[in-house]
Amino acid sequence: MATLPSRYPAAVWTPYPQWPTGNYTDTNHYKVVWHKTQGGDGVLNWYPRSGGIPKFTILSTGVVHQHYSMNKYDRALRNQSGGVQTNLDGAISIEMVGFVGQGSTTEQLVAMRKLSAWFVEIGIKTGWLNGPPTTGARTRLSQNAWDNGRGHCGHVDVPENDHTDPRFVSKEIAAIESAWNGTGSMLTTTPREEWYKLYNQANPLVENSVVSEVQDFLKHAALGPDGKLKRYYGFTTDGKRGAVTDAALRNWKIDRWGNPDAGTKIGSKAWNEINRQLFMVHVQEDVAPVNPVDCSAVIAKLATSEAKVAELEAKIAGAQRELA
Ligand SMILES: [Zn+2]
């Protein structure tokens, strides 16, 4: 394939010239290698000391830094003597700030999708070389598969290496794959308030990050005071909107609003409610990790505040009647 455009237009150029680079030994087999930093945004200050510098770093804010030209090798992979070349064999390493299995921020997901879409534009092959890198326990690519492979993989898949990152969650996989199948462009151009429209249009066969988000929400919503799952959710978050997700959403709406005719789509009211509750869950998580046993206290508080709101509403209605 030969030469690539040297800079990703949406990136901040942050070079580390003290850690030199050079030409790739192979420009016919470009491989995007995804990583997790296992740390925070301070990694940009750590790179000069470690020297393990990738092509790109995506900060928690979604800001993308580019450290080497697309046409020069980067330095995020280990390379043992003998065997294959790793960094030099067309590898394009991307460090996601964060931790394995912990997911990415919404801003990072959008940035991942945009960068992946740019890779498609410049002709880098889509698809996983060894399946989506969601686990740390798997067999690495053989030297031959690495050498002759094109496409995407995780650090966990690279021969001669022992790291098992990035262990992406389904939303991260969906952000990348949506760029490959073209469904993601709407995610970046649609305001979050209207993402429910993307949910309603989701192809049941294609993983979609908005669907993953709703499924994760239903999982939280399904935890009863006893810590057991209620009827909303009995399946794995797979980002695919099928009959099971439809039924779970419908059951949640029936329980929330008491309307037995509730449908299987999300309207602005349901979306606002999902976001309101997601926000509350996040506030809880900031204070302490969510423990299903503790849910009763949260639910009791919620009931108390809802009762107070009802009381105030009754008072207002009464006052209005008196005025009328
Ligand atoms: Zn790594």
DSSP string, 39-86: B-TTHHHHHHHH----SEEE-TTS-EEE-S-TTB----S---SSS--S
What is the rounded CA–CA span in Å between residue 111 and residue 123?
19
What would the pLDDT profile of 24-56 be if each residue is shown by its tens digit? Answer: 999 999 999 999 999 999 999 999 999 999 999
Query: What pLDDT is stored for residue 149 in this prediction?
Result: 95
Measured in angstroms, how far is the CA atom of residue 165 from the centroid of ligand 1? Answer: 5
Using alpha carbons, select from 233, 215, 227 the residue that is nearest to residue 293: 227
Q: Give the model's pLDDT for residue 96.
A: 98
The 10 Å Cβ neighbour count of residue 265 is 16
The CATH number that domain 12-187 falls under is 3.40.80.10
Long-range contacts of 279-282 (CB under 8 A, 24+ apart): 281/220
Confidence (pLDDT) at 281: 59
Reference 55, options 85, 103, 17, 15; nearest CA is 15
Q: What pTM did the predictor assign?
A: 0.61
> 36 C-alpha to center of ligand 1: Å?
6
Map out the domains of the chain as residue ranges: 12-187, 191-290
Q: How far is the CA of 209 from the centre of ligand 1 (A)?
A: 23
Q: Secondary structure of the chain: what % helix, strand, coil (to 5)?
A: 45, 10, 45
What is the structure's pLDDT at 178?
85
**For the chain, which ranges sit under pLDDT 70?**
1-2, 183-190, 223-235, 280-296, 298
pLDDT in tens, 132-161: 999 999 999 999 999 999 999 999 999 999
Ligand 1 center–CA 206 separation, angstroms:
27
The half-sphere exposure of 172 on its side-chain side, counting CA atoms within 13 A, is 27
